[in-house]
Amino acid sequence: MLRRAASTTFRRHLITSHSRRPIASSSRFIGTLVIAEHEGGSLTNSSLSSVEAASKFLCKDNSLSLLLAGTGPSLQEAAAKAASCHSSISQVLVADSDKFKYPLAEPWAKLVHLVQQQGDYSHIVTASSSFGKNILPRAAALLDVSPITDVIEISESRTFVRPIYAGNALCTIRYTGADPCMLTIRATSFPVGSTAPDSKTSAAPIHQVDLSTFGEDGKSRHIKQTSQDSERPDLGSARVVITGGRALKSAENFKMIEKLAEKLGAAVGATRAAVDAGYIPNELQVGQTGKIVAPELYMAFGVSGAIQHIAGMRDSKVIVAVNKDADAPIFQVADYGLVGDLFEIIPELLEKLPNKK
């Protein structure tokens, strides 16, 4: 009996009198669920951003539940860390099963559906990562609601701003449908506050999700994952990003960009042209269909500045463009432009820039 109570969600706890952590307030209870990703025993940066975004819905009567799934000790470690990582998290739900070993859409969407049935949340939030974009719309279809992608601003609990047309227009929308209101948020628009040790005294409780009704395995299997091991900072959250375009001419020349990035402690990005030409792997593409970045400093070398590329970096604080074509559209968004040959300018920069702190 006790185990069952522990495995149901927070909301049920309020209803049952056997709650282990009674809550004083009994007024209308609104819950937000954040679907989080974890890696190597910690929440990913974009998941922390979604917690940050979700905490914007919070007023005194609602709660924030974090859903983590996977299997093995790294899941438990991530759950334990998550429980005390943000003061607004009121509980951590853990789904531990081999079914969630890989981020397959079918079991994950089913899990979100199941957790929603148990917890009756008003909002479900996740980051606009390839993981979030893959599973959230599928879960929304199972719940028969319209999801909202890539939210950059939360005006009210059901009013959001999101970019359309590659960020060339901003659309303010109001969700008028049934609960839950499901959204993916753009991580760069909800930066995680200085993650100093939280003032929070106790960790949020961790509950296991009851998977007894989960059912059979799905129709897809994970075969393999090939990832680019990199010691450089993550492109999505780096403070400085150095990007190269087609003008680098070869994968060999692209190493100059990497050298410059090393010197500044920066992440490396690329345009579609550079990726298509094989200079650099596709997961480093910046733009409408690649990564969206908003670093403090964005330096573009040999990048013309097509609409689709600008969409991925226009919110950077300081933009530097180096291009030999003085009419390149990139100069219209650059704070500092330098017209010249990048094969001369990069070596000079390598010499004159100070080393990273």
Whether residue 180 has a cis bond before it, omega within 30° of 0? yes
Q: Which two tokens stand for residue 353?
A: 């820039």
163 binds other proteins (CB under 8 A): yes
b/e per residue 54-72 (b: at least 16 CB within 10 A):
bbbbeeeebbbbbbbbbee
- Using the 8-state DSSP alphabet, how is residue 262 labeled? H
Total residues contacting other proteins by CB under 8 A comes to 89
Give the angle subtended at the CA of 194 by the CAs of 134 and 236, to the nearest 5°.
35
277 binds other proteins (CB under 8 A): no
**Least distance in Å: CB of 203 to other proteins?**
28
157 binds other proteins (CB under 8 A): no
- Positions 114 through 153 that interact with other proteins (CB under 8 A): 129-131, 133-142, 144-150
Q: Which one of 43, 83, 238, 264 is in contact with other proteins (CB under 8 A)?
A: 264
Q: Which one of 27, 174, 213, 216 is in contact with other proteins (CB under 8 A)?
A: 174
For residue 2, the SS3 value is: helix
- Positions 65 through 124 that interact with other proteins (CB under 8 A): 104-106, 109
Query: Nearer to other proteins by C-beta: 8 or 157?
Result: 157
d(CA 69, CA 209) in angstroms, rounded, equals 9
d(CA 316, CA 97) in angstroms, rounded, equals 40
- Positions 200 through 259 that interact with other proteins (CB under 8 A): 218-228, 236, 240
The DSSP string of 315-354 is: T-SEEEEEES-TT-GGGGT-SEEEES-HHHHHHHHHHHSP
**Least distance in Å: CB of 105 to other proteins?**
5
What's the 3-state SS for 19-59?
Answer: CCCCCCCCCCCEEEEEECCEECCEECHHHHHHHHHHHHHCC
**Least distance in Å: CB of 87 to other proteins?**
28
Stretch that binds other proteins, among 60-68, 85-93, 208-216, 280-288 (CB under 8 A): 280-288
278 binds other proteins (CB under 8 A): no
164 binds other proteins (CB under 8 A): yes
Query: Nearer to other proteins by C-beta: 51 or 284?
Result: 284
Residues across the chain? 357
**Least distance in Å: CB of 76 to other proteins?**
22
d(CA 78, CA 63) in angstroms, rounded, equals 20
Query: Nearer to other proteins by C-beta: 72 or 281?
Result: 281
Q: Which one of 1, 24, 169, 196 is in contact with other proteins (CB under 8 A)?
A: 169
Exposure of 125 in the CB half-sphere (CA atoms within 13 A):
32
- Positions 292 through 321 that interact with other proteins (CB under 8 A): 296-297, 307-308, 314, 317-320
Q: Which one of 14, 58, 80, 166 is in contact with other proteins (CB under 8 A)?
A: 166
d(CA 30, CA 46) in angstroms, rounded, equals 24
339 binds other proteins (CB under 8 A): yes
